[in-house]
């Protein structure tokens, strides 16, 4: 029979013992046991095997007071980032019990991690197993997602696909695993990570660990955390050839033939290093910050080629790269998992406001002027709560385009006087380089805001002037421009049945078209000119959205456009509406004849229409074209960082 007095004495002595001041790495080296269920190298944990983890693990130790958040953005299965979290959790259970919350992307993912990674920690590491309240699976203290340990420690495990999962769970310590797979928002309750971190508010000694491979820029939370809040630490490996410490990048990986050995070319002296040198390279590696950060967040970036010797070979990474370099889908996976970099859609990666500003400065034609090549003017109006924004663009052969006019008309869209100012701009006679003049052919008016019926009524009264009601649609498989449906107009107590024709626009597809054209660098088909009317605010609005891949509440990937810069996106929306009007205009012409007919109206010879004075076909009949042209008689940054440079 147990001696009650002895039990009491042992418990009393244990309670009054001062905590051992072991860091996370020191505790793991002394106590952590690995099993075959979770590791390819079972046995005693050795931080020396992954020396680059020592610094991030020790920043999670209680004796570190300045750094409260640690970001690990590592390549897939190459840096033991999950083991960092497990060692931290194990030390907390064994030495400093405190409420602990683990956030996984989904509940299904959490179940797999509990069985494969957490249960072995609880059962096979004696220092942790001794702290369990119960080992029975049916016991409330040992439920799959809620576990109790001695010292009043409660471990909560949740999936990030539930907006309310973290509510009511106070936690001193938070570990977010595979953060890039978390939705940016769920159940209209905000960011899952911020919701979880709000649970730590009452704990002055709080610590947070966020780990993941990156995803798509703009929809990848860990990339945002690393780039905007952390000090962006990079590992400068030790170069045994010359004694320097250098950051190894993909361009330092070299090979003589595609199936031969891969070497690391020393960035300092150019000497070739073989893979067996990685033991010394990692042991002597030094983390160095490359940014100031917010003062409490340490970020660590580690590509796959830093994986310990024997884990992931340079030849395997090279072979995966060669297979992926000409396949966008495979390349995205390689950039995320091996380079540990966020992926950007090729259609948007190179587009920048600064680059477009330089393009405009190189060809500064005046605002309101139609340069040579303009054969058609189209306009669009975006309706905001306190202003109307209008853009006029000129188009020529091959849909080369010129910005002619862009302006905000301030006022209440419920008042007719604001719309009448749009009439003035829409009916403006613009001078053409030929010596003639042009007016706008068709004008799209956005009806999707808070003044839908005011916009409807404006279009209804001016349908014979080429004014068209449009609305952006969410169906990504729909036609670029719908066929048009009749809508009722309800305004000031009047109801006009089927008073206006509304055209739905596939904004997703048209934005891809726009970004593709913004990437065209030489005048010609699809090229976009801007002139003096485009200012910095315009270019920021035109380029503020990025195509990103997100995970919906069911765990499925979907692509969508996101405004990651917070800029006003009306210039981009107006561009979409104008392209829709170009599509509507083309419907009035036989295939391939529109530019030739418009050029004939100007008296010019459009490229590709026969040349040598060959007569052009007569213009198509269109009562709305009267007044287009009057009196004319003249003639005519790469974020992929070099992945594909090999």
Give 126-167 pLDDT, tens digit per residue: 999 999 887 776 665 677 888 999 988 999 999 876 655 556
Residue ranges making up the domain that contains 81: 14-46+53-232
Name the band, by pLDDT with cuts 50, 70 and 90, for residue 530: very high
- For Cα atoms 419, 421, 426, give the angle at the middle one, nearest 5 degrees: 95
Name the band, by pLDDT with cuts 50, 70 and 90, for residue 16: low
Residue 337 within a domain: no
Residue 7 within a domain: no
User: DSSP readout, 495-513?
Assistant: EEEEEEEEEEEEHHHHHHH
Are β-strands 245-247 and 233-238 bridged in parallel, bridged antiparallel, or unpaired? antiparallel
Q: Which two tokens stand for residue 112?
A: 């797999």
Residue 638 within a domain: no
Q: Which two tokens stand for residue 229?
A: 């809040």
Name the band, by pLDDT with cuts 50, 70 and 90, for residue 632: very low
- For Cα atoms 166, 172, 178, give the angle at the middle one, nearest 5 degrees: 55
- Examine the pLDDT at 498 and tell me if it is beyond 70: yes
Domain match, 586 and 455 both: yes
Q: What is the model's pLDDT at position 479? A: 85
Name the band, by pLDDT with cuts 50, 70 and 90, for residue 354: confident
Residue 302 within a domain: no
- Measured CA to CA, the distance from residue 530 to residue 344 in angstroms comes to 25
- The full 3-state SS of 30-71, as one line of letters, equals HHCEECCCCCCCCEECCHHHCHHHHHHHHHCCCCCCCCCEEE
Taking the model in full, what pTM does it have? Answer: 0.65
Q: What is the model's pLDDT at position 565? A: 61
Q: What is the mean pLDDT of residues 90-105?
A: 94
Residue 191 within a domain: yes
Q: Which of 215, 232, 249 is the last residue of a domain?
A: 232
Q: Which two tokens stand for residue 186?
A: 């769920």
Residue 588 phi/psi, 5-degree rounding, is -90, 0
Are β-strands 442-446 and 376-383 bridged in parallel, bridged antiparallel, or unpaired? parallel
Q: What is the model's pLDDT at position 376? A: 95
CB 439 within 8 A of CB 429: yes
- Measured CA to CA, the distance from residue 282 to residue 306 in angstroms comes to 8
- Measured CA to CA, the distance from residue 301 to residue 286 in angstroms comes to 12
CATH number at residue 498: 3.30.420
CB 215 within 8 A of CB 559: no
Q: Which two tokens stand for residue 415?
A: 């008042």
Residue 607 phi/psi, 5-degree rounding, is -55, 140
Dihedral angle at the C-alpha atoms of 344, 349, 353, 354, nearest 10 degrees? 120
Q: What is the model's pLDDT at position 347? A: 62
Q: Which of 203, 232, 261 is the last residue of a domain?
A: 232
CB atoms within 10 A of CB 416: 10
Residue 624 within a domain: no
**Range scoring the smallest mean pLDDT among 60-69, 130-139, 380-389, 408-417:** 130-139
Tell me the CA distances in angstroms from 123 to 32, 90, 142, 151, one per residue in order: 11, 11, 12, 18
Domain match, 219 and 358 both: no
Name the band, by pLDDT with cuts 50, 70 and 90, for residue 290: very high
Bigger pLDDT: 188 vs 155: 155
Q: What is the mean pLDDT of residues 372-396?
A: 95
Domain match, 225 and 88 both: yes
Residue 596 within a domain: yes
Write out pLDDT tens, residues 573-600.
999 999 999 999 999 888 778 998 888 8
- Examine the pLDDT at 629 and tell me if it is beyond 90: no
The DSSP H or E segment spanning 438 is strand 437-438
- For Cα atoms 627, 632, 636, give the angle at the middle one, nearest 5 degrees: 125
Helices (H), 338-472: 346-349, 353-362, 416-426, 452-461
User: 588: buried, middle or exposed (CB in 10 Å: 19+, 13-18, 0-12)?
Assistant: middle
The DSSP H or E segment spanning 156 is strand 153-159
The total number of structural domains in the chain stands at 2
Write out pLDDT tens, residues 240-285.
999 999 999 999 999 998 889 999 999 999 999 999 999 999 999 9
CATH number at residue 144: 3.40.50.300
Residue 642 within a domain: no
Q: What is the model's pLDDT at position 17? A: 54
Are β-strands 262-265 and 387-395 bridged in parallel, bridged antiparallel, or unpaired? unpaired
Domain match, 224 and 365 both: no
Q: Which of 217, 232, 247 is the last residue of a domain?
A: 232
- Examine the pLDDT at 569 and tell me if it is beyond 60: yes
């Amino acid at each position: 029979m147990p001696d009650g007095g002895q039990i009491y004495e042992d418990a009393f002595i244990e309670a009054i013992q001062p905590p051992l001041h072991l860091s996370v790495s020191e505790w793991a080296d002394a106590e952590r046991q690995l099993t075959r269920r979770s590791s390819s190298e079972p046995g005693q944990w050795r931080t020396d095997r992954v020396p680059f983890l020592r610094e991030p693990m020790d920043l999670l130790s209680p004796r570190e007071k300045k750094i409260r958040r640690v970001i690990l953005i590592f390549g897939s299965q190459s840096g033991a980032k999950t083991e960092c979290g497990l060692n931290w959790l194990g030390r907390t259970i064994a030495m400093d019990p405190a409420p602990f919350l683990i956030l996984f992307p989904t509940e299904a993912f959490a179940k797999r991690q509990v069985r494969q990674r957490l249960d072995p920690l609880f059962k096979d590491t004696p220092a942790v197993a001794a702290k369990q309240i119960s080992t029975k699976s049916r016991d409330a203290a040992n439920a799959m997602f809620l576990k109790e340990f001695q010292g009043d420690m409660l471990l909560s495990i949740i999936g990030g696909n539930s907006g309310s999962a973290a509510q009511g769970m106070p936690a001193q310590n938070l570990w977010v695993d595979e953060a890039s797979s978390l939705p940016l928002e769920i159940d209209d309750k905000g960011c899952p990570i911020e919701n979880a971190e709000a649970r730590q508010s009452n704990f002055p000694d709080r610590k947070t660990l966020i780990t993941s491979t990156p995803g798509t820029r703009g929809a990848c939370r860990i990339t945002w955390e690393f780039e905007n809040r952390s000090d962006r630490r990079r590992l400068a490996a030790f170069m045994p050839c010359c004694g320097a410490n250098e950051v190894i990048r993909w361009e330092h990986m070299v090979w003589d033939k595609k199936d031969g050995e891969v070497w690391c070319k020393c960035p300092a002296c150019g000497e070739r290093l073989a893979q067996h040198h990685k033991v010394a390279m990692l042991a002597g590696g030094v983390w160095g910050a490359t940014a100031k950060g917010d003062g409490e967040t340490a970020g660590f970036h580690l590509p796959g080629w830093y994986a310990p010797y024997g884990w992931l070979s340079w030849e395997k990474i090279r072979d995966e790269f060669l297979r992926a370099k000409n396949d966008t889908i495979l390349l995205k996976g390689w950039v995320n998992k091996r380079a540990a970099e966020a992926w950007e859609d090729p259609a948007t990666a190179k587009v920048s406001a600064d680059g477009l500003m330089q393009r405009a400065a190189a060809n500064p034609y005046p605002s309101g002027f139609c340069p040579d090549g303009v054969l058609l003017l189209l306009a669009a109006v975006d309706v905001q709560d306190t202003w109307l924004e209008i853009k006029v663009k000129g188009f020529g052969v091959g849909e080369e385009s010129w910005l002619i006019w862009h302006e905000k008309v301030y006022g209440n869209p419920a008042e007719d006087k604001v719309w009448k100012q749009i009439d003035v701009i829409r009916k403006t006679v613009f001078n053409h380089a030929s010596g003639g003049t042009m007016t706008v052919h068709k004008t799209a008016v956005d009806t999707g805001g808070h003044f839908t019926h005011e916009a409807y009524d404006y279009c209804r009264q001016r349908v014979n002037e080429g004014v068209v009601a449009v609305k952006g649609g969410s169906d990504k498989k729909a036609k670029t421009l719908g066929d048009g449906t009749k809508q009722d107009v309800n305004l000031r107590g009047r109801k006009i049945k089927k008073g206006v024709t509304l055209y739905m626009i596939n904004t997703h597809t048209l934005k891809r078209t726009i970004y593709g054209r913004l990437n065209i660098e030489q005048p010609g088909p699809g090229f976009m000119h801007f002139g003096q009317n485009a200012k910095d605010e315009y270019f920021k609005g035109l380029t503020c959205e990025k195509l990103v891949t997100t995970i919906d509440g069911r765990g499925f990937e979907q692509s969508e456009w996101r405004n990651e810069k917070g800029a006003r996106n009306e210039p981009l929306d107006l561009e979409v509406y104008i392209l829709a009007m170009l599509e509507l205009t083309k419907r009035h012409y036989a295939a391939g004849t529109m530019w030739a007919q418009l050029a004939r109206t100007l008296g010019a010879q459009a490229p590709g229409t026969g040349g040598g004075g060959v007569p052009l076909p007569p213009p198509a009949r269109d009562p709305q074209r009267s007044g287009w042209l009057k009196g004319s008689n003249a003639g005519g940054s790469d974020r992929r960082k070099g992945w594909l440079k090999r």
